[in-house]
Structure 1
Amino acid sequence: MFGHLRHLRAAAACAVVAGVLAVSATTAAGSTRPPTPPSGFQQQLEALVHEPGGPPGVIVTFARQGASNVYRAGVADLATGRPPKPRDSMRIASVAKAFSGAVALSLAARGTLGLDDTIARWLPSLPASWGRVTLRQLLQHTSGLPDYSQAPAFGAELQADPHHVFAPDDLLSFVASEPLLFVPGTRYQYSNSDNIAVALMAQAATGRSYEQLLSGLVYRRIGLRKTSLPIGYEMPIPYIHGYGERDGRLTDVSTEFTASASWASGGIVSTPQDLNAFIAAYGGPRFLPQNVRQAQLAFIDGSSEPAGPGQNSAGLAIFRYVTRCGTVYGHTGNTSGYTQFTAASPDGTHSLTFSVNAQITEKTDPAVFATMRAVEENAVCELLRR
């Protein structure tokens, strides 16, 4: 999660809206499988956008062995009434952490990085007290690194200039004077600092920028055509507009903050279609060799932020969601204007992306969050049904 952004302006408040309805179901080109709506699922999406405090729009994309179905309710743009589409760009928030995992684990598979490599080895300029933290601990949020996104100085700088371009090397400087929160490896605590350090280690080990590594190890390999890590605040057109409440009014916050403020922790822009392809690969058995995948899927108690459906457990930059209908691997995220959940079946043949264009959290609106999480679990049931 990179949800602190929503609090950085005095006018910020929880994202609340009454949605406008627009629904559809489509099938991928070339597929002979007709879209069969799950019983009541479309109605649940409609109810979510109409619930007080619900998002303006929701889009759920399913991909199953070459066939794709799309269900949606509400709008991607309140100004035009346009519905969300699977090729629309959007901020994926902390789902970006799974991309940093894909880079790091790909490098581990090649022997360029080791899961037990330390911060001291690759990032000696960081505090010596952080030096024993390993790549494995960073990926699993057991590092103890203080979260730079919660630092008052970072918040003040972003509030003063929400479009300021932060250098990746500077992000951890906001907490460089702070000690570790606990002995590394002894507990789970989600931290945005972890994935910044992961990306910096990947850069140090390869001599290439993180953006170059994403392109070569992830985008091109999987075939992601509309996924990128920008440094600024602008969005590719067309995009799903994100909304939040400002001064009691619903406001488009899609371009309110610079993506460089979250970088490898939450700055990636993608589409529902690309996210489906990504999580099917990263969550499936063929992206990584078996020994690295075994490490990736060594789960411990720990919830993604926001919590995904069912019982959550934390692997290496991936989460396991055990629902009443079965188990999926994936990631969640939220930031100003967006909340995301993407997951795949363990065999990688089925995937889903569940996107809403408002930031919905358990703390700011527990009722809407509970509704959304229940619908997410029903989406998993629809994904896994035979």
Structure 2
Amino acid sequence: MPLCPARSLRAVLRSRLGSLLVIAVASSAVLAPATAGAATGPAKDRTLQDQIDRFVSEPGGPPGVIALLRNGKQTRVLRAGVADLATGRKPQATDHMRIASTAKAFSGAVALSLVDRGALGLDDTLRERLPRLPHAWGQVTLRQLLNHTSGLPDYSEDPEFTAVISADPRHHFDSRHLLDYVADEPLRFRPGSRYEYSNSDNIAVALMAEAVTGAPYEALLRRLVYRPLGLRDTSLPQGYRLPEPYLHGYDMSDPASPQDVSELVSASGAWASGGMVSTPADMTRFIRAYASGAPLYGKDVVREQRRWIEGASQPAGPGRNKAGLGIFRYSTRCGVVLGHTGNFPGYTQLVAATPDGRRSLTFSITSQISATSDPARLERLRAIQENFVCALLRDER
């Protein structure tokens, strides 16, 4: 079936970025069939392969899925569908992709590394570190930003912000002034009194890191995260372009005519909250280190990071969710993994690992699936992800 010529994207990009984008996207390429990836792994992987094959082939399903299951030094890669509907190319572990709100785990890694070094404290307040921000927000602490109990209003839900993105999805924002959109708003609740996921939290985390180091957040990512972990294909861009090769992300609101939205939106409007680009291979390296803490920070910081409260990632991860500092606890029927989820126009992500970092799952999808856009499909996805977690935890190799 062909990719339709120019048409309006209807309600395509309603995400945690808060925007409803309605634009025309032109294409005349041919849609390749959603063929299954070869089940070349152990026999027990075939059930998992069947599940993602069915998920891709159902009406409105994502064009592609790639999952990396790592146990020690062994990695199994399962994939279904394609990375690019125009060419039929298969997803690869080295394909670039938008990692959505899993970028919040990177801001957590930067902040907790600075806590470990004594440059930041978890009880440091916005008034102390970022006095330019509204006085009414001053009592909010770094800890509350990291576990989403700050009460900060979400800039991505602000009408002025969404109007700018709706008019020009590739608009270049001043990322360090995204909180200005809600600077005239009070806190939504008393800091620390309850959980509420907010994209503003991680913008403030990055700004606090810059304030205490005098270095740009992008440089801190390179120094504190990329280099120690050997991440060569991870970046925080400002524009809308993706490095080649990449997993193409699609709007599937009309299954008969998918629209490529990979390069639709400028990353500058998400920045530390969701603007990063990486690969499944790099994300596997990252989550193994981030879940365990080593070599990013020590055991004292890990203990603070794992003070769990009630709260779910967006979208919810597999099993029962609880929130820590820049990380979530996913309690499945087979055991516990720690990680983060995210979605962005064209992409849905899950990265998770056992608390010791030995076993990990990176699960990437090339369409946006959320409780708002398609709750039934999200529940099917969570069930599949839980089955992958069970396979990971039961692997005795």
Over 6 Å off, 4+ runs: none
Match of 2:366 in 1: 357
| Among 3, 7, 14, the residue aligned to 2:15 | 3
Cα deviations by residue, 1:320-348 (Å, 9 ceiling, x for unpaired): 00000110000000010000001001111
Match of 2:311 in 1: 302
| Among 172, 181, 199, the residue aligned to 1:192 | 199
Match of 1:20 in 2: 34
**TM-score if structure 2 supplies the norm length?**
0.91
Q: Give the partner amino acid of 1:296.
A: Q
Q: Number of residues paired by the alignment?
A: 375
Query: Is 1:276 aligned with 2:284?
Result: yes
The answer on whether the counterparts of 1:25 and 1:70 sit within 8 Å (CA) in structure 2 is no
Q: Structure 1 residue 362: deviation in Å?
A: 1.9
| Among 150, 170, 191, the residue aligned to 2:157 | 150
Following the alignment from structure 2 to structure 1, what is the Cα–Cα distance between the partners of residues 386 and 253?
31
> Kindly tell me: are residues 298 and 49 of structure 1, through their superposed partners in 2, closer, same or farther at Cα, counting changes over 3 Å?
same
1:1-386 superposed matches below 5 A: 3-5=15-17, 7-10=19-22, 20-24=34-38, 35=42, 37-245=44-252, 249-286=257-294, 287-385=296-394, 386=396
Percentage identity across paired residues of the two chains = 58
Cα deviations by residue, 1:299-338 (Å, 9 ceiling, x for unpaired): 1000000000000000000000000011000000001000
3-state secondary structure, aligned to 1:347? coil
Q: Structure 1 residue 159: deviation in Å?
A: 1.7
The answer on whether the counterparts of 1:145 and 1:191 sit within 8 Å (CA) in structure 2 is yes
Following the alignment from structure 2 to structure 1, what is the Cα–Cα distance between the partners of residues 39 and 139?
51
The answer on whether the counterparts of 2:61 and 2:252 sit within 8 Å (CA) in structure 1 is no
> Kindly tell me: are residues 4 and 105 of structure 1, through their superposed partners in 2, closer, same or farther at Cα, counting changes over 3 Å?
closer
User: Which blocks of at least 5 consecutive residues in structure 2 are unaligned?
Assistant: 1-12, 25-30
The answer on whether the counterparts of 1:319 and 1:331 sit within 8 Å (CA) in structure 2 is yes
**TM-score if structure 1 supplies the norm length?**
0.94
Q: Give the partner amino acid of 1:212.
A: A
Following the alignment from structure 2 to structure 1, what is the Cα–Cα distance between the partners of residues 309 and 14?
22
Following the alignment from structure 1 to structure 2, what is the Cα–Cα distance between the partners of residues 175 and 119?
15
Q: Structure 1 residue 18: deviation in Å?
A: 10
Q: Structure 1 residue 19: deviation in Å?
A: 6.5
The answer on whether the counterparts of 1:331 and 1:342 sit within 8 Å (CA) in structure 2 is yes
Match of 2:3 in 1: none
Q: Give the partner amino acid of 1:359.
A: Q
> Kindly tell me: are residues 207 and 19 of structure 1, through their superposed partners in 2, closer, same or farther at Cα, counting changes over 3 Å?
farther
Q: Give the partner amino acid of 1:62.
A: L
Q: Which is further off, 360-369 or 167-176?
A: 360-369
> Kindly tell me: are residues 304 and 205 of structure 1, through their superposed partners in 2, closer, same or farther at Cα, counting changes over 3 Å?
same
CA RMSD of aligned residues (A): 1.9
Q: Structure 1 residue 367: deviation in Å?
A: 2.0
Q: Structure 1 residue 167: deviation in Å?
A: 1.4
User: Which blocks of at least 5 consecutive residues in structure 1 are unaligned?
Assistant: 27-33
Following the alignment from structure 1 to structure 2, what is the Cα–Cα distance between the partners of residues 19 and 326?
36
> Kindly tell me: are residues 11 and 161 of structure 1, through their superposed partners in 2, closer, same or farther at Cα, counting changes over 3 Å?
closer
